[in-house]
Amino acid sequence: MKDPDIILADEPTGNLDRKNGEIIVNRLLAAAAAGKTVIAATHDARLLDQSHHKLHIVDGRRSVSE
């Protein structure tokens, strides 16, 4: 439980102020850099801009970018 291989995060910064959101973004990025798989559903541009793979869903249609 304390060292998962996969981290699922649903809007991890959604209800946080800017400072705490930045802390969470940095922790998720650090986990990914350490070899963890991080899957996040987010609208936060800070997290999107630094993601390796993105799946966009708009009006029920998806597109993938790397």
Q: Which residues have CB under 8 Å from 63's CB, separation 6+?
A: 55, 56
Domains identified in the chain and CATH numbers: 6-65 (3.40.50.300)
pTM for the predicted model, two decimal places: 0.80
**What is the pLDDT at residue 53?**
86
**What is the pLDDT at residue 20?**
96
Residue 63 carries which side chain, given as an amino acid letter?
S
Helix, strand, or coil here: 62? strand
**What is the pLDDT at residue 2?**
85
Average pLDDT on 33-47 reads: 91
Q: Which residues have CB under 8 Å from 39's CB, separation 6+?
A: 6, 7, 8, 9
**What is the pLDDT at residue 52?**
84
